[in-house]
Each structure stands twice: as structure tokens, then as C-alpha cells.
Amino acid sequence: MPAYGIVGAQWGDEGKGKVVDFLAEKADMVVRFSGGSNAGHTVINDQGKFALHLVPSGIFWPHADAVIGPGVVVNPGTLLDELRGLQERGVATDRLYVSDHAHVVMPYHIQLDLLEEEARGAKAIGTTGRGIGPAYVDKIARIGIRIGDLLDADYLRGRLEAAVRQKNQVLTKIYGAEPIDFDQLFDECIEHGEALRSYVTSVESRIEVALAKGANILLEGAQGAMLDLDHGTYPYVTSSSVSIGGACTGLGIPPSEVRGIVGVFKAYSTRVGAGPLTAELDDEVGSKIRELAWEYGTTTGRPRRVGWFDGVAARYSASINGFTSCVLTRLDVLDGISPVKVCVAYEVDGKRLTSFPSRLRVQERCQPVWEELPGWTAPTAGITDRAQLPAEALAYVARIEELVRCPVDVISTGPKREESIVVRPILPDRAG
Ligand code: GDP
Ligand code: IMO
Ligand code: MG
């Protein structure tokens, strides 16, 4: 029965890849439910260092199925490259399953993503340029192409003709760009479909069977709750339902089957792209953290904006997700920094706010209210036993638990799989 959501709780890049790879030791299935190759999930384990964009981070465990769910948008070329890269490094990919319902990210989606960003000028979102927004637009507009369609040439031809007709109008008349060559695109789609055929399946029924067997299923989130299409800092968001609700709609899994909802937080804040980040640090501490922690995007290589932990946003994220557990990553990055600060409230127009404001125009004007805590000098890096953490680090974790109102059940002290402290196990053992 049990499914466990592993959800990014801030602005993405919290370390979901590391956490999912670690927790998947006890999982029978690891499923991506939303987003696409805008995600970049880093995994470091005994097989090496990997940056995954579409393949679930459970792929390294031979006992686990890795599933790309219906709610994901899939660039077939990117997926095939990623699979090839894994196979070349000896990672088995025969337990990967791709939903026939997942939508395809087409070359014209990428082209439109870039053109739309350019047209936004100073108001650009700072998208990853992977075509994610335009692909979800077509899904909602019901002119999207699904992975299953790539396996049916006749059906695909009709669907693609309609889509290309519309896109060519937009490309040529609005953006003055070249039209798409239909035949070339159609052939490419058929080729991709053939290459993916053995992976494509009805994911909903696989999940149903797994749940009936009592399998442990990890629902691997992408992005972070503050980038959620409905609940994030709109329009500076991604185009999918990042939060736990997106796992249910993006997979066809009933909410009653979700036993645990795990929020992955990093010990401070980062954000790539535009949009409010109240706890942002524009000083040398911020630069120090960026360089120390190599806070550069896994997907685009862009420098990440850095800030202290934002307790107001964190509490909001916990409330829209209903976290039952938190995982705190990158505690080691704060080793040797003293004092450490947390943002405990916002101030705007002389008023103090402790709940996240609803309107972007208010979010943008909020100033952080800081609380200082003593830092720690003894390193936490690589520690695997909670008892060995310095008292100040424990106090910092306890303060975060208070602010989020949820226990921190796992603390990550380094990027490698084993650099983890389990305070309380999140998943039960596999049924066998
Ligand atoms: P994701 O998108 O949430 O999977 O996160 P990313 O992989 O984009 O970014 C997280 C970065 O932090 C990666 O470089 C990870 O290797 C690294 N990382 C994860 N957990 C820890 C940790 O506890 N300590 C340190 N120092 N690095 C970590
Ligand atoms: P993971 O899964 C961090 C951000 C982009 C941009 C906004 C919209 O690695 O945590 P999009 O390309 O989705 O239309 O861009 O969302 N963004 C991410 N930031 N981590 C991610 O994924 C992100 N995926 C999208 O930077 O601000
Ligand atoms: Mg990432």
C-alpha cells in the first residue's frame, strides 16, 4: 500500500536526487511524477557521479523499478541520451518504464520557450530553456503529442499535422521565425518512438499492481514547492504541479495511498532564475556559500542565488504539502560559518508577517527579519551518527523543525549516498 512523496520544499535543487537514491534502498519502485528535463538531480554513489534529468534517481538499485509517470513531459532525444550515458557506465536500464500518457517535448517547444523568454525582456522568468512551459501549454490545450502516439504512425501523422500547422502560424507570424519541416520532424518522432518502444507501458496499471502487493513506492518530485504553478511565486514558477497533489494527478495514484510526504529542504536557500527570494544574501557570505557549495545549476550551469534558510516560505511549503517528515540537506555547507541566520518573519509596510504573502507584488517588497544562531566549528561533513553532530548544529536543526513544524527525520551531511544521518526511518523495510 505505501507510497511516499519526496518533494522539493523550496525553490528546487534541495538535493532530491541524493535523497531519493539514498531512500531507494528500501523502495520497490521510484516514480517521477511531474516536470521534465528542466530538473537536474545529482546522485553520487558507488557507481559514480550522475546528473539525471528524466530518469528517476532510483535507477541505481537493481531491485527497484524506475518509472516516468504520465504527468512528466519527456524530451525523447534527451531521455535516449541519458539512457545511453547510463548504459555506457554499466547502469542497467531494463527496469525503466515510461508512461504512454506522458507528453512529448518537441523541438518547437524548445524554440518557443526561448522565443517567449526573449520577448519577456526584463521580465524574463529565467526558464531552463528546455521547452517545459510550451509543452504543458499544449497538453492543456489538447494539441499535445503523447509518448504512446510515437508508436502509432497513422495516428501520430494526424496529431502532428494539426500541431505543426498551429505552431508554424505562431513561429512565422508572431516571431518571424522559419517554419517547421513536417516530414523531418515526423521521421524523427517515429525514430524516437522505435528506440523507446520497449520502455513504453501503461504506468497507471503497474502502479496499481505494485500498491496491491504492498510495495514501497517513492514518488520523486522535481523542482520545489515555491515554483509550483498554483502555489508558487507566479509567474516566476515552472509550469507543473510540483507539490504532493501533482503526484496524485501526475500518476493516477489515489491520495489515500500516500502514507508519507517528505519535504526536502536544504539548510539554506537557493533559487535559479528570477522571482522573489526574501532571504537572499547579496554579500560575501552569499558568495562564500555559492563557491564553497558550488551552487551552480545542474541543468544549465547558471549561478544559483543564495540566501539564509527562509522559515516563512518553509512553513508555507509545509502547509500546502502536509509534510509528515523533512529531510535537511547540505548541513555541512554551513560548517565554520558563524553566526548562522534564519529568516523568521517578513516585514512589509511597517508590518510583520509570519505567513507567506499571497501576492507577488507584496512578496517582492518583503524584507527579512533575521534570527541569529551560533554556528559550529567542528565539521559535520560526512557524519552518519546524529550523536556526533556539534550541539550548535543540533540546535540549528531543532530551530528549523520548529519553524517548519515538522520533524527532520534524515540529515544529509554530504553529496554521497552514505553521507546521511537517519534520525527516524522514513520507509518501512521492503516486504521482500
Ligand atoms: P535536486 O535537483 O534537488 O536533486 O538537487 P541538485 O542535484 O540539483 O543540487 C543539489 C546539489 O547538492 C548537488 O550538487 C548534490 O550533489 C549536492 N548535495 C546533496 N546533498 C548534499 C549534502 O548534504 N551536502 C553537500 N555538500 N552537498 C549535497
Ligand atoms: P530540480 O528538479 C531549480 C526554475 C527555472 C525558472 C523556473 C521556470 O533540479 O530541483 P522552466 O524551465 O521550468 O520553465 O523554468 O523554474 N526551475 C528550477 N530551478 N531546480 C529545478 O529542478 C528547476 N526546474 C525549473 O530556473 O526559474
Ligand atoms: Mg536540481
In a domain, 432, yes or no: no
In a domain, 311, yes or no: yes
Clarify whether 385 is annotated catalytic.
no
Q: Using one digit for the tens of pLDDT, what is the confidence trace for 178-219?
A: 999 999 999 999 999 999 999 999 999 999 999 999 999 999
Determine the distance separating the centroid of ligand 3 and the alpha carbon of 32, expressed in angstroms: 14
For residues 158 and 119, membership in a common domain is answered with yes
- How many residues would you count in the chain? 432
Q: What is the mean pLDDT of the chain?
A: 97
In a domain, 429, yes or no: no
For residues 216 and 190, membership in a common domain is answered with no
For residues 152 and 242, membership in a common domain is answered with no
Contacts of 16 (CB under 8 A, 6+ apart): 6, 7, 8, 41, 57, 220, 221, 222, 264
Contacts of 122 (CB under 8 A, 6+ apart): none
Alpha carbon 308 to chain centroid distance? 20
Give the ligand 1 atom nearest the CA of 18. Answer: 19
Range of the domain at 176: 103-199
Query: Given 199, 228, 247, which residue is the final one in a domain?
Result: 199
Q: Using DSSP, how many helices (H) and how many strands (E) does the chain show?
A: 12, 20
Q: Using one digit for the tens of pLDDT, what is the confidence trace for 58-84?
A: 999 999 999 999 999 999 999 999 999
Within 10 A of 423 (CB to CB), how many other CB atoms are there?
A: 15
For residues 22 and 70, membership in a common domain is answered with yes
For residues 261 and 344, membership in a common domain is answered with yes
CB-based burial label for 217 (10 Å; 0-12, 13-18, 19+):
buried
In a domain, 147, yes or no: yes
For 412, phi and psi rounded to 5 degrees?
Answer: -105, 130
Q: Using one digit for the tens of pLDDT, what is the confidence trace for 87-121?
A: 999 999 999 999 999 999 999 999 999 999 999 99
For residues 185 and 244, membership in a common domain is answered with no
Q: Supply the pLDDT for residue 299.
A: 78
CB 393 within 8 A of CB 386: no
For residues 278 and 143, membership in a common domain is answered with no
Query: Given 166, 199, 232, which residue is the final one in a domain?
Result: 199
Q: Using one digit for the tens of pLDDT, what is the confidence trace for 312-340?
A: 999 999 999 999 999 999 999 999 999 99
Q: Supply the pLDDT for residue 281.
A: 95
> pLDDT-derived band of residue 1, with 50, 70 and 90 as boundaries?
low
In a domain, 369, yes or no: yes
Q: Using one digit for the tens of pLDDT, what is the confidence trace for 25-48?
A: 999 999 999 999 999 999 999 999
Query: Given 164, 181, 199, which residue is the final one in a domain?
Result: 199
CB 213 within 8 A of CB 35: no
> pLDDT-derived band of residue 300, with 50, 70 and 90 as boundaries?
confident
Does the pTM surpass 0.85? The reply is: yes
As for how many domains the chain has, the answer is: 2
Clarify whether 101 is annotated catalytic.
no
CB 192 within 8 A of CB 80: yes
CATH number for the domain that contains residue 189: 1.10.300.10
User: What average pLDDT score do residues 127-135 get?
Assistant: 98
For residues 235 and 326, membership in a common domain is answered with yes
Determine the distance separating the centroid of ligand 2 and the alpha carbon of 187, expressed in angstroms: 30
Query: Any idea what the Cα angle at residue 46 is, between residues 412 and 44, rounded to 5°?
Result: 45
Place of cell 541566520: 341
Mutate to test the pocket of ligand 2, among 113, 128, 265 (most ligand atoms within 8 A of CB): 128
For CA atoms 240, 241, 247, 252, the dihedral sign is negative
Q: Look at ligand 1, atom 9, and give the residue with the nearest C-alpha.
A: 13
For residues 45 and 139, membership in a common domain is answered with no
In this structure, which long-range contacts are made by residues 360-365, counting pairs with CB atoms below 8 Å and at least 24 apart in sequence?
A: 360/233, 360/234, 360/235, 360/236, 360/276, 363/233, 363/276, 363/278, 364/276
For residues 292 and 411, membership in a common domain is answered with yes
Strands (E), 60-199: 65-68, 73-74, 96-99, 103-104
In a domain, 72, yes or no: yes
In a domain, 376, yes or no: yes
CATH number for the domain that contains residue 249: 3.90.170.10
Q: Supply the pLDDT for residue 432.
A: 62
Query: Any idea what the Cα angle at residue 228 is, between residues 224 and 233, rounded to 5°?
Result: 100
Percent of the chain with pLDDT strictly greater than 70: 100
